[in-house]
């Protein structure tokens, strides 16, 4: 991710909306502090009402009827002073200066303090930083924090590019619910269903405690779409010491009900494709390539043994 600082705010800063924060929210500035919050060695002079409007955490702290409701000096634990300072400034001007070095710490602090507007800005920033190198980790991170929009954005990147990241260890660190959600999706963009069974086997054997989850995951595989070469190669290479052997035996003894219900439908994204035929028209063979739009992947096919009347032709369809 590029380490670029961005200042983001909760207001629409379009050309026709140039109002200041004070005009939008008269209470956002020039509010007299009435309580001191101490975070480690630093003290922050803040206004109870302002913080209570922005955060259920502070609303309960100041007006929940507890001991802190009447105190003028309160110690805050569970958050660092630097992140707390940033969020206190946000409560005054509704702006956050974020970069890839501070965004995670600020997000976690905003989540802890339940400052939802700051939390949302952090999540939107992270959505713009999504990449093949971080989408799996971000998916697990967003699931842990309950950031649903960020999770959905990271999930979409994973669904689109699973073949390119299937070997990453971060994939094996996802929860069972997240893995099942991916493997069940009709929007999973894969060249062959073989990859789904391979991911289920690798995830289930990553930790011994996951063996019980394998039958649930393998039930999401669409068996009619598995290729015979993959199955033959898998069975021929597995020996008794291979942790996958136990799972394969279990599968053989107890097929999932979804495998016995009739022909399954291929995944939508797997069927969308583009064929490109090209080369000099006078040649006896014509080069043939297949393009998968969602993953951006090109695949070479055996050349066609026939002259082409035009130099290039393109066909779109489903497979």
Q: Which of 126-130, 185-189, 285-289 has the highest mean pLDDT?
A: 126-130
Q: What percent of the chain has pLDDT over 90?
A: 56
Question: Is 301 a residue whose pLDDT tops 60?
Answer: yes
What is the tens place of the pLDDT at every residue in 4-19? 556 666 544 443 333 3
**For range 251-263, the mean pLDDT:** 82
What is the tens place of the pLDDT at every residue in 102-148? 999 999 999 999 999 999 999 999 999 999 999 999 999 999 999 99
> What pTM was estimated for this model as a whole?
0.71
What is the tens place of the pLDDT at every residue in 53-112? 999 999 999 999 888 888 999 999 999 999 999 999 999 999 999 999 999 999 999 999
Q: Bigger pLDDT: 211 or 264?
A: 211
If you compute the radius of gyration of the chain from its CA atoms, what whole number of angstroms results? 27
Residue (of 129, 71, 136) closest to 104 by Cα position: 129
Cα gap 244→241, rounded to integer Å = 9
Sequence-ordered list of residues with C-beta below 8 angstroms from that of 312, at least 6 positions apart, any chain: 276, 277, 278
Cα gap 55→61, rounded to integer Å = 10
Please tell me what DSSP assigns to residue 226: S
Bridge-based pairing state of the strands 286-292 and 297-304: antiparallel
Task: Report pLDDT for 275.
Answer: 77
What is the tens place of the pLDDT at every residue in 199-251? 999 999 999 899 889 999 999 999 888 889 999 999 998 888 899 999 999 99
Alpha helices (H) along 131-193: 135-145, 148-165, 169-172, 176-184
**Using CA of residue 46, residue 50, residue 52, residue 56, what is the dihedral sign?**
negative
What is the tens place of the pLDDT at every residue in 24-38? 454 444 578 899 999
Task: Report pLDDT for 29.
Answer: 46
Q: Within 13 Å, how many C-alpha atoms sit on residue 6's CB side?
A: 15
Question: Is 283 a residue whose pLDDT tops 90?
Answer: no
Cα gap 42→52, rounded to integer Å = 21
DSSP characters for 87-148? HHHHHHHSEEEE-TTTHHHHHHHHHHHT-HHHHHHHHHHHHHT--TTTHHHHHHHHHHHT-H
Alpha helices (H) along the chain: 21-24, 48-54, 56-63, 81-93, 103-113, 116-128, 135-145, 148-165, 169-172, 176-184, 194-206, 214-218, 228-237, 243-253, 268-271
Q: Is 65 left (phi over 0), alpha (psi -120 to 50) or beta?
A: left
């Amino acid at each position: 991710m590029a380490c670029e600082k961005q200042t983001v705010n909760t207001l629409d800063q379009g050309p026709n909306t140039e109002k200041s924060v004070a005009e939008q929210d008269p209470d956002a500035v020039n509010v007299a502090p009435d309580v001191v919050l101490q975070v480690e060695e630093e003290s922050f002079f803040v206004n109870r009402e302002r913080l209570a409007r922005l955060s259920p955490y502070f609303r309960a702290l100041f007006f929940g009827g507890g001991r802190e409701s009447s105190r003028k000096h309160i110690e805050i634990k569970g958050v660092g002073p630097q992140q707390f300072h940033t969020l206190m400034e946000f409560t005054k001007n509704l702006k956050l200066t974020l970069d890839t070095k501070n965004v995670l710490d600020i997000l976690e602090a905003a989540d802890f303090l339940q400052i939802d507007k700051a939390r949302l800005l952090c999540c939107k920033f992270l959505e713009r930083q999504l990449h093949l190198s971080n989408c799996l980790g971000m998916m697990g991170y967003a699931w842990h924090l309950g950031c649903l929009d960020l999770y959905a954005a990271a999930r979409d990147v994973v669904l689109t590019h699973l073949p390119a990241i299937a070997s990453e260890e971060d994939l094996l660190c996802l929860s069972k619910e997240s893995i099942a959600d991916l493997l069940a999706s009709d929007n999973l963009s894969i060249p062959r269903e073989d990859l789904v069974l391979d991911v289920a086997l690798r995830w289930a054997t990553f930790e011994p405690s996951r063996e019980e989850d394998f039958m649930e995951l393998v039930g999401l595989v669409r068996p009619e779409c598995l290729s015979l070469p993959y199955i033959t190669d898998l069975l021929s290479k597995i020996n008794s010491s291979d942790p996958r052997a136990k799972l394969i035996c279990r599968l053989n003894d107890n097929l999932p009900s979804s495998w016995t219900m009739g022909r399954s439908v291929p995944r939508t994204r797997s069927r969308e494709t583009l064929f490109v035929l090209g080369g000099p028209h006078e040649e006896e063979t014509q080069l043939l390539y297949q393009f998968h739009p969602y993953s951006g992947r090109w695949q070479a096919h055996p050349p066609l043994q026939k002259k082409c009347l035009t130099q290039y032709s393109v066909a779109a369809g489903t497979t």
